[in-house]
Amino acid sequence: MKNLKKLLALLVTGLMLIAAAGCGDSAGSGSASKAASGSGSGGKQITMGFSQIGAESEWRTANTESIKQAAKDAGINLQFSDAQQKQENQIKAIRSFIAQGVDVIAFVPIVETGWDTVLKEAKDAKIPVIVVDRDVKLNDDSLYVAKIGTDSVAEGKKVFNWIDEYMAKQNKQPRSGNQYNVVILEGTVGSSVAIGREAGFKDAMAAAQDGSKYNILASQTGEFTRQKGQEVMESFLKSDRDKIDILFAQNDDMALGAIQAIEAAGLKPGKDITIISIDGVKGMFQAMIEGKSNCTVECNPLQGPLLMETAKKVLNGESVDKLVYVDEGIFPADVAEKTLPERKY
């Protein structure tokens, strides 16, 4: 019954959504969290305008929650705006932040380009801008004060290093020939994350002493989705069912799809084929507990505290690095069960 009510509520919201879309007004003002407990940085309370791209995945939801929570903890007044996957909404939101005269603006850019004008406006209004999570391409890098995010090249490197160590420790032998055969499920073609993760992996492989023990057998895009991850893995298995030793999926979802394809082919994921992926979503931990995957390298969405810290530093006139990376951990299967309850996303 509960679900039925939920459905009904959804339907109503859905209709409202349609109506709203019809009116052409979707400059999401969002829910401004007024809760600003405590004194924070002493005298004047800091106000931050933050534009999130929308709710696309569990990961993004965790990202949003982290920022909201961190703002509350730091006593910063957060003006939150949801762009519903549209750049124009983000630009509108940033303009309204400028008009409101917030102290600092932070945003997760939905695309890399097209920000010069609006960021120039912010700079003219002497409001510092912090770019969160994703990259931007600007003609003038002084338009923002700092970028906070994840380091996809480092993630790729961690993946290779973990595999290398794991293979040596487990004393695993190649299933055929004398090299470990690796297949890669790439992310969306051309996305900065996919490029970074692949480069990091290959760099680490080239730099490693025993890099020659590894052979990249096939690499194909799985577009960061389960469907495609599964379909592409299915195809890999048809060609080289008995050769593949290692699967590197550039995100967890593709790995989860691929696990099903491996099972369908009559192999044991995590045993016959060693699987490592990036992100660290809950579903992956579940799979690791079941022994179907070996490791996930975290891509940390909990960027809130670092963002707030950086913002305060900037406003206090302290110098900050242009690039600030969040901490990212490695979670192999043996710690999965212990870690799962602590996972926030």
Quick check: 13 binds other proteins (CB under 8 A)? yes
Quick check: 55 binds other proteins (CB under 8 A)? yes
Question: Do residues 62 and 302 touch, judged by C-beta distance below 8 A?
Answer: yes
Among 14, 101, 177, 291, binds other proteins (CB under 8 A): 14
C-beta closer to other proteins: residue 47 or 61: 61
Q: What is the smallest separation between the CB atom of 292 and other proteins, expressed in angstroms?
A: 12
C-beta closer to other proteins: residue 13 or 173: 13
Quick check: 26 binds other proteins (CB under 8 A)? no
* The two structure tokens encoding residue 211: 């890099």
CA–CA dist 218, 198 (Å, integer): 13
226: exposed, middle or buried (Cβ count in 10 Å: 0-12, 13-18, 19+): buried
For residue 95, the SS3 value is helix
Quick check: 226 binds other proteins (CB under 8 A)? yes
User: Residue 106's CB: how many other CB atoms inside 10 A?
Assistant: 29
**Numbers of helices and strands, H then E, in the chain:** 11, 12
C-beta closer to other proteins: residue 290 or 321: 290
Among the residue ranges 114-122, 151-159, 253-261, 299-307, the one whose residues contact other proteins (CB under 8 A): 253-261
Among the residue ranges 13-21, 40-48, 67-75, 308-316, the one whose residues contact other proteins (CB under 8 A): 13-21
- Whole-Å CA distances, 187 to 62, 85, 113, 175, 341: 21, 19, 20, 27, 28
Report phi then psi at 243, rounded to 5.
-110, -30
Site string for other proteins, 271-310 (x = CB under 8 A): ----------x-x--x------------------------
Binding positions for other proteins, 110-169, rule CB under 8 A? none
CA–CA dist 155, 241 (Å, integer): 27
Quick check: 266 binds other proteins (CB under 8 A)? yes
C-alpha neighbours within 13 Å on the C-beta side of residue 229: 25
For other proteins, the binding residues (CB under 8 A) are 3, 6-7, 10-11, 13-14, 17-18, 21, 55-58, 60-61, 186, 189-190, 218-221, 223, 225-228, 230-232, 234-236, 238-239, 253, 256-257, 260, 264-266, 281, 283, 286
